[in-house]
Structure 1
């Protein structure tokens, strides 16, 4: 059993491992919640958009579980979070150890970036990409990178996701990327999904001018 706060105080938040994963029938699915029925019990699990995408079209699913318990306040709570992979759950648990990053912010980050993308962003200290996530400012982005860069390497998550640290060698033209994301944001699209699409386009076609990047992105963003 792992307990974050061994002696919970008033309003204390801690998590422990009792449920490693849940396997069962997918009874309901929304972008934020999955209900999995196992042995006659329906478990409601908060999920990221990455996990939501991974569950699309499936009837039987397996979700790795993170349990969060809030005690000592007016209303105690017991919340389950579900993840399509161990790596995503591990990254979530690392994120919530960072000062200023709570459960909702961590889930927002994992909804905006895939586990591999997040590892790459942290490993290569890409503050600008982290800042495209709603609610993440410069200081929080820097804190995430400083606190987690060594941990994702030492924990083995980076190796599992085939991530390598290559500081100073951006994967795409940052100026083109930023200009394209800015243009898409002005057109009403959210920054984080826009950045993901733009990076994907520039990774495949690094020499495209910004106008072409924006045109392609408009066809790809959902």
Structure 2
């Protein structure tokens, strides 16, 4: 099991990063929160969680230990896979997820794509006692509007939405809020799709 990768950021998208270390480029799936923290950096150290399946070895990366711990707690719940956990960490901050679980707020968890009422209740039952205090600060980064649109669309398509429905949601959000960041556009789109 890999613990972390330290190296040069070869490519960074809202849903993934390629880190070059020792002449090898590692493709790592990341959440939107991790993307916000890594955006603009040339060198990085990214904490990892490896999922080994019959057909693939998949790496999931996190900017900090708290987010990785929350991810591991989420995937320990029956019915919550790695992609669903990343979707949750992209839609909500770690604090929002922990707060929703500790206050038994099913509605907040159900707002995430792929989480139904039963799964939300199972997450709350399984994790309410396990979760301690997780704190992190979110960083808001401003980038030009066209880049925001392209990066948002790319992330939503990588997360499994069709390009057509993603374009509609992103266009509507950018019309409503000209000052939106990539992170806020994707979060709002995840709630609308």
Cα deviation digits, residues 82-138 of structure 1 (max 9, x gap): 111111111111111111111111110010111122111111111111111011111
**1:36/1:142 CA distance change after superposition, 3 Å:** same
**1:136/1:22 CA distance change after superposition, 3 Å:** same
Q: Which runs of 5+ in 2 are unaligned?
A: 137-167, 186-193
- Paired position in structure 2 for 1:22: 5
Distance of 1:118 and 1:89 partners within structure 2: 13
Cα deviation digits, residues 43-72 of structure 1 (max 9, x gap): 11011111111111111111100011113x
**1:92/1:115 CA distance change after superposition, 3 Å:** same
Distance of 1:54 and 1:128 partners within structure 2: 27
Instruction: Compute the RMSD of aligned alpha carbons.
Output: 2.1
Q: Which runs of 5+ in 1 are unaligned?
A: 1-17, 163-187, 195-214
Match of 1:50 among 13, 28, 33: 33
Match of 2:83 among 104, 112, 118: 104
Cα deviation digits, residues 130-160 of structure 1 (max 9, x gap): 111011111111111110010113xxxx1x4
- Paired position in structure 1 for 2:95: 116
Distance of 1:47 and 1:130 partners within structure 2: 19
- Paired position in structure 2 for 1:161: 135
TM norm structure 1: 0.61
| Map 1:131-142 → 2, pairs under 5 A | 131-142=110-121
- Paired position in structure 1 for 2:109: 130
Higher relative contact order (CA 8 A, sep 6+): 2
Distance of 2:14 and 2:62 partners within structure 1: 13
Distance of 2:135 and 2:13 partners within structure 1: 26
CA drift of 1:189 comes to 5.0
Segments ≥4 residues shifted beyond 3 Å:
217-221
Match of 1:89 among 68, 71, 86: 68
Cα deviation digits, residues 157-214 of structure 1 (max 9, x gap): x1x428xxxxxxxxxxxxxxxxxxxxxxxxx759xxx9xxxxxxxxxxxxxxxxxxxx
- Paired position in structure 1 for 2:53: 70
